[in-house]
Structure 1
């Protein structure tokens, strides 16, 4: 007999409820269930009840009879949960606090994986994504594949501190003016001047700010940088941090990501959307059928 576990409605909904409470408390609030406030606990309980109701319908379906979940899959699921804890003792302690055993966790994971497997099976035969589908998506959503202009810049910062001798506004301005004059005489010295004089942590990288887009820097720096040409040096600029000079190393113009680079990502996204839509339709029909039978 194959080493498999079949998940049916006879799995304890109470066990799954406890497991789902842990899962959704962490996902929604980054807390353990016993640390939730009353409104948070009520919200988690509502989410869990809704999920359990859907799972019950899925597991009672004809499609669920044809689905199995292997022990290896459940082992991997338990391992993934355990990996979130610093030690196995912490893991076991958490389960105990929530009224769960490792066997109960396996049952809950088996139930959850079976539901996922049913939904995967239900949507397995959605139409494949054609080359034309991908190209149409790329053209209709051109804004998603736009890359803004980026400029790679370096800067030198001299801070202003009127309470520190030699760092007042007048002295700081004199220092930045002198540094800029050095850079004007020999632009290749900018990185060395930054390392020697800049009062920003970027000094260790020769003042390198890296590639930036519009709006990432202080307004005065942003306006100056995006008006400069490659290799150009700015005038002295002031921000809340102090005085700066900028050097524009490289300009990458705005453009579009080539279709070849995103073709597979688009294909996967379209397929995932189709599968999710098919699953929702199946769930609606399943719920409608069950309600009709009750009526």
Structure 2
């Protein structure tokens, strides 16, 4: 049983670090610079303290995580790699066995379920509440300009010869030169070369609004015409090429759409407030 498997706190911390690096920067911890890595390690300590008090709470006893749920989470993690050999090699580099990975994911899911359960009885948002909010804040309910974008990422990391600054710049400029002749090769070149998990989806990031990407990417993307590839742009995680697929101009939400969005936002706010209140009560006595 995973619930009874011995807990290795060092492995738990390493998994949290990997998770934060992938979620925040779309790369492994070893690809990050010292400043960002130090910031993430601080976040790991906070996350570990939170997980410890949540899993020690009486409420966690009532929650169950099925083996199938752990398996699905591992499959999702593995899907970010080109193949199972690369995935297994990553585990070896992190000195993490498959059993340990199962255990840390089990604990992660159990923590999430326990926190989520503390807001199950939050009351739904009434139509009148949503309507009142809409009437007072009509100007807020519009779709800002959005752009559908793909990218190719080459990271800069002095630990690897091919990712040292000079080599990385040469690699991405070579890719850019190939795209001058045929923009349709972007998907193929992204799959072959990009060091971002989006490479598994032909480099597609998706549809974004201003402020969702790194500032350097944001500033460039929202000046690009459609069906064009950018010049090479550098962010804190490496070198990028952007492809702007589509531009969606700003538009107003109708009242029905706005009320649906308001109800969801107010409900999520209530849930988060209830969860934070419960967590604060745990931390105050820990």
Is the TM-score greater than 0.5? yes
Counterparts of 2:274 and 2:20, CA distance in 1: 25
Counterparts of 1:142 and 1:54, CA distance in 2: 38
Counterparts of 2:93 and 2:27, CA distance in 1: 14
Find the counterpart in structure 1 of residue 115 from structure 2.
119
Q: Quickly say closer, same or farther: Cα 1:148–1:50, change in 2 above 3 A.
A: closer
Deviation at 1:7, TM superposition (A): 7.8
Deviation at 1:262, TM superposition (A): 3.3
- 1:15 corresponds, among 7, 11, 16, to 11
Deviation at 1:69, TM superposition (A): 0.6
Counterparts of 2:47 and 2:101, CA distance in 1: 17
Find the counterpart in structure 1 of residue 31 from structure 2.
35
Find the counterpart in structure 2 of residue 83 from structure 1.
79
Equivalence map 1:1-295=2 (5 Å): 6=3, 11-146=7-142, 256-290=252-286
Paired residues of 1:5 and 1:69 also in contact (CA < 8 A): no
Counterparts of 1:68 and 1:25, CA distance in 2: 27
What secondary structure sits across from 1:69 in the alignment?
A: coil
Paired residues of 2:55 and 2:111 also in contact (CA < 8 A): yes
Deviation at 1:47, TM superposition (A): 0.8
Structure 1: any 5+ residue segments left out of the alignment? Answer: 150-200, 202-215, 219-251, 291-295
Deviation at 1:113, TM superposition (A): 0.5
Greater RCO between the two (CA within 8 Å, min separation 6)? 2
What's the CA shift string for 1:197-236, capped at 9, x where partnerless? Answer: xxxx9xxxxxxxxxxxxxx889xxxxxxxxxxxxxxxxxx
Greater alpha carbon shift after TM alignment, 14-23 vs 29-38: 29-38
What's the CA shift string for 1:148-197, capped at 9, x where partnerless? Answer: 89xxxxxxxxxxxxxxxxxxxxxxxxxxxxxxxxxxxxxxxxxxxxxxxx
Q: Quickly say closer, same or farther: Cα 1:133–1:7, change in 2 above 3 A.
A: farther
Counterparts of 2:143 and 2:15, CA distance in 1: 43
Paired residues of 2:143 and 2:253 also in contact (CA < 8 A): yes
Structure 2: any 5+ residue segments left out of the alignment? Answer: 146-182, 184-221, 225-248
Q: Quickly say closer, same or farther: Cα 1:97–1:263, change in 2 above 3 A.
A: same
Deviation at 1:277, TM superposition (A): 0.8
TM-score by structure 1 length? 0.57
Counterparts of 2:143 and 2:20, CA distance in 1: 36
Deviation at 1:83, TM superposition (A): 0.8
Cα RMSD, aligned residues only: 2.8
Counterparts of 1:17 and 1:255, CA distance in 2: 44
Q: Quickly say closer, same or farther: Cα 1:108–1:147, change in 2 above 3 A.
A: closer
Counterparts of 1:104 and 1:125, CA distance in 2: 34
Deviation at 1:25, TM superposition (A): 2.0
Paired residues of 2:17 and 2:29 also in contact (CA < 8 A): yes
Counterparts of 1:65 and 1:146, CA distance in 2: 44
Q: Quickly say closer, same or farther: Cα 1:147–1:66, change in 2 above 3 A.
A: closer
Counterparts of 2:2 and 2:265, CA distance in 1: 31
Counterparts of 2:69 and 2:138, CA distance in 1: 40
Deviation at 1:27, TM superposition (A): 2.8
Aligned pairs, number: 187
Find the counterpart in structure 2 of residue 211 from structure 1.
none
